[in-house]
A = this chain, B = another copy of it.
Amino acid sequence: MKNEKITSRDVDFAKWYTDVVKAAHLADYTSVKGCIAIEPNGYAIWEKIQSIMDKKFKELGHVNVQMPLLIPENLFNQEKELIEGFAPELVWVTEVGDKKLDERFAIRSTSETVFCDYYRKHINSYKDLPKLYNQWCNVFRYEKETRPFLRSREFLWQEGHTVHASEEEALKETYQMMDVYRWFNHEVLAIPSITGKKTEKEKFAGAEFTLTNEDLMYNGVCLQDGTSHYFGQKFCKAYDVKFVNKDNKEEYAYYTTWGKTTRAIAAIIMVHADDYGLVLPPRIAPKQVVIIPIGSDERVNELCNKYNEELNKNDIVSYIDNSDKTPGYKFAEAEVNGIPVRIEIGARDLENNKVTLVRRDTREKIIVDSNIDIVSYVKDLLDTIHHDMYIRAIERRDKLTFEAHNMEDMRNILNTQPGFIHAMWCGDPECEMKIKEIKGCKSRCIIEEDPIDDKCVCCGKKADKHVIWGIQY
Contacts and interface: CB of A to CB of B under 8 A. Distances in A.
Interface of A: 28, 30-32, 35-40, 43-44, 46-47, 63-72, 75, 87-98, 104-105, 107, 114, 117-118, 121-122, 133, 137-138, 140, 142, 154, 156
Contacts of A36: 68
A43 B65 contact: yes
Nearest to A152: B68
Contacts of A156: 66
Given A39-B65, A63-B43, A97-B87, A72 B107 contact: no
A407 B387 CA distance: 76
B91 A93 contact: yes
Given A66-B43, A68-B30, A68-B32, A97 B90 contact: yes
Contacts of A142: 96-97
B31 A75 contact: yes
A117 B31 contact: yes
Contacts of A70: 32, 35, 140, 154
Contact of A38 (B28, B46, B66): B66
Given A94-B92, A95-B92, A40 B69 contact: no
Given A35-B70, A87-B97, 8 more contacts: A40-B133, A44-B63, A44-B64, A68-B154, A89-B97, A91-B96, A92-B95, A97-B142
A95 B105 contact: no
Interface centre among A90, A96, A114 (most CB of B within 10 A): A96
Nearest to A135: B43
A95 B94 CA distance: 8
Q: Which 3 A-B pairs have the closest CB atoms?
A: A40-B63, A35-B68, A38-B66
A408 B43 CA distance: 55
Contacts of A117: 30-31
Give this chain's copy count. 2
B92 A96 contact: yes
Nearest to A156: B66
Contact of A69 (B71, B96, B133, B140): B140
Given A35-B68, A40-B133, A68-B37, A90 B96 contact: yes
Nearest to A323: B127
A391 to B, nearest CB: 33
Nearest to A25: B122
A105 B142 CA distance: 13
Contacts of A66: 37-38, 43, 46, 138, 156
A68 B90 CA distance: 16
A32 B75 CA distance: 10
Given A35-B68, A43-B64, A30 B95 contact: no
A98 B104 CA distance: 11
A117 to B, nearest CB: 5
A104 B114 contact: no
Contacts of A40: 63-65, 133
Interface centre among A32, A66, A142 (most CB of B within 10 A): A66
Contacts of A107: 69, 93, 107
A47 B134 CA distance: 13
Nearest to A118: B37
Contacts of A28: 118, 121-122
Contact of A71 (B32, B88, B122): B32
A64 B44 CA distance: 7
A33 B52 CA distance: 35
A91 B98 CA distance: 9
A353 B136 CA distance: 46
A26 B36 CA distance: 33
A318 to B, nearest CB: 16
A84 to B, nearest CB: 12
A97 B306 CA distance: 59
Contact of A137 (B88, B133, B138): B138
A30 B39 CA distance: 33
A133 B31 CA distance: 18
Nearest to A35: B68
A30 B67 contact: yes
Contacts of A104: 95
17 contacts: A30-B68, A32-B105, A37-B118, A40-B63, A40-B64, A40-B65, A40-B133, A70-B140, A70-B154, A87-B98, A91-B105, A92-B95, A92-B96, A93-B93, A93-B94, A94-B94, A137-B138
